[in-house]
Amino acid sequence: MRFEISKVLDAIEGRVCTDPSLARAVLDLAEVIRYQDLDGGRPASLLRLGMVIDTLARQLEEDSVPVYAVVHRALLSDADLTSNERMVVRRWADDGLVEVLDNPGDRMLEVADLLGLPVLSRVRFDGLRGRFPWVVEQPGRVLAPVPDAGGPKLVAHVGGGPKPVAGDRSSTGVKLLARQWRCPEPGCALFGGGGGGAFADLARVEGAPAGQPPPSLRNGVPTCPRHGARLSDAGPRPRSEVLAVRIGGLIRRRFVLTEEQPVLVGRAPEGTGAVMLGQWLNDEARRWISRSHIRLELRVGEVIVTDVSTNGSGIRPNGSLVESERVPLAPKQSRVLAGADMVELYPGVQIGRAEALPSGASFTPTSVMAEAPTMAMRLPRP
């Protein structure tokens, strides 16, 4: 049982991140964890985060959807959580997967504003409409997870639709996210590489610079939300592209390609940041697709795909699904993936820019809770 819970928590861990390119909604972890009505269970439970993430995935009709969690520091020692759950949240905090704050204030809304993300909360935030007009003006930007017969669902505070709506990044967000930032606090998990000193500016910012969270703005000054310290500008943020894997019409996951790190995609590729497809493939596709099938690189802003497989791939120019327009990509061949172009590893197994790949409803997203130990925790699959 304990082992199974650990597996669920590991699965949930893969769905929390502060990467502005990958997070799809913002939430307050304490609120979700303490949302007892959601399942009628313990006063606090980290598994509720999994339930809310699954709900978000279902309503976005997309798999592997990560959330940006703002965490009140008190939660790290919350006695209503199990010691295992506390340990897990602390690890997320240490690894910068969540944002831990002494006083979250309206940080959740600030993040949503800077990144253009929807907010998952039962709170209406009408009182903050002055600073964040979208909370009342933009339908679908704030949604409440509510219990329902078939598992939780999301209900928009404004507008009727259950589908979370992303807005544009605010102009401030665009400006802040064009740079990378460094916190003077040593070991800062969000804006690492600090420590000050004469050579501070030469030190490489640790972690994934392209995935740094948005700074907090205090009196117009970029500030570390965790330490309240003024952040220094560490140069332009490295270029990146958000790509997505679509299998059978459903986006299975998104990933970020940077100029520093090529990404291998295949049945079971090895290496940093490699994207493994094996778990989503049928037997035939698994036989066809090589362990490492394609390599993706970002060079001077261009996405280059190289076939490294035995059987080859195909390019679907401008995302066209017309068979006669499919261009073969032979083993060892490379090609620039422009605009809405997709590379197809096997019929129906496609990779392209996330913004150009619509996701469909024909498949049910994989539940992050699939390993959950009790039936009560299991979400029904339609």
Rounded to a whole number of angstroms, the minimum distance from the CB of residue 220 to Zn ion is 18
Kindly state whether residue 277 participates in binding Zn ion, applying the rule CB under 5 A: no
Report the nearest approach of Zn ion to the CB of residue 189 (Å). Answer: 8
Q: With respect to Zn ion, which residue has the nearer C-beta, 17 or 281?
A: 17
Residue 223 vs 366, nearer CB to Zn ion = 223
Residue 98 touching Zn ion (CB under 5 A): no
- Outline where DSSP puts E strands in 185-319: 216-218, 221-223, 232-236, 240-247, 250-258, 263-266, 275-276, 294-299, 302-307, 313-316
Which residue among 90, 227, 291, 326 contacts Zn ion (CB under 5 A)? Answer: 227
* Residue 224 in contact with Zn ion, rule: CB under 5 A: yes
Looking up tokens 């600090």 gives: 194
At its nearest, how many Å lie between Zn ion and the CB of residue 192? 8
* Closer residue to Zn ion in complex, CB, 102/355: 102
Q: Which one, 228 or 273, has the nearer CB to Zn ion?
A: 228
Contact 351, 342 (CB under 8 A): yes
Q: Quick one: which segment of 115-123, 147-155, 184-192, 362-370 binds Zn ion (CB under 5 A)?
A: 184-192
User: Stretches 19-27, 112-120, 188-196, 361-369: which one binds Zn ion (CB under 5 A)?
Assistant: 188-196
Say whether 119 sits in a helix, a strand or coil.
strand
Least Å distance between CB 206 and Zn ion?
Answer: 12
Q: Does 183 bind Zn ion (CB under 5 A)?
A: yes
Contacts of 323 (CB under 8 A, 6+ apart): none
188 binds Zn ion (CB under 5 A): yes
Q: State the minimum distance, in angstroms, from the CB of residue 364 to Zn ion.
A: 40
Q: Is 185 in the site for Zn ion (CB under 5 A)?
A: yes
If one asks whether residue 5 binds Zn ion (CB under 5 A), the answer comes out as: no
The two three-digit tokens of residue 235, written as one number:
């140069």
Q: With left for phi above 0 and alpha for psi between -120 and 50, is residue 141 left, alpha or beta?
A: alpha
Q: Which of 24, 34, 48, 226 binds Zn ion (CB under 5 A)?
A: 226
- Residue 143 or 188: the one with the smaller Cβ distance to Zn ion is 188
In the complex, the smallest distance separating the C-beta of residue 223 from Zn ion, rounded to whole angstroms, is 9
Q: Which residues contact 40 (CB under 8 A, 6 or more apart)?
A: none
Piece of the chain touching Zn ion by CB under 5 A; list 27-35, 66-74, 183-191, 304-312: 183-191
Identify which range of 39-47, 163-171, 177-185, 247-255 contacts Zn ion by CB under 5 A: 177-185
Q: Does 298 bind Zn ion (CB under 5 A)?
A: no
Minimal CA–CA distance to 244: which of 277, 271, 267?
277
Stretch that binds Zn ion, among 12-20, 213-221, 222-230, 307-315 (CB under 5 A): 222-230
Using CB under 5 A, which of the segments 101-109, 111-119, 217-225, 242-250 binds Zn ion? Answer: 217-225
CA distances from 160 to 56, 139, 144, 337, 369 (A): 16, 8, 12, 38, 27
- Options 36-44, 220-228, 342-350, 358-366: segment touching Zn ion (CB under 5 A): 220-228
Question: Is there a contact between 255 and 266 (Cβ–Cβ < 8 Å)?
Answer: no
Dist. CA 249–CA 326, nearest whole Å:
17
| Total residues binding Zn ion (CB under 5 A) | 6
- The encoded tokens of residue 25 equal 């909604």
Residue ranges in the chain assigned as alpha helix (H):
2-13, 29-33, 47-60, 83-94, 107-115, 134-137, 171-176, 283-288
In the chain, the amino acid numbered 367 is S
- Find the farthest-apart pair of alpha carbons in the chain and give their distance in angstroms, rounded: 62
Residues that bind Zn ion in the complex, under the rule CB under 5 A? 183, 185, 188, 224, 226-227
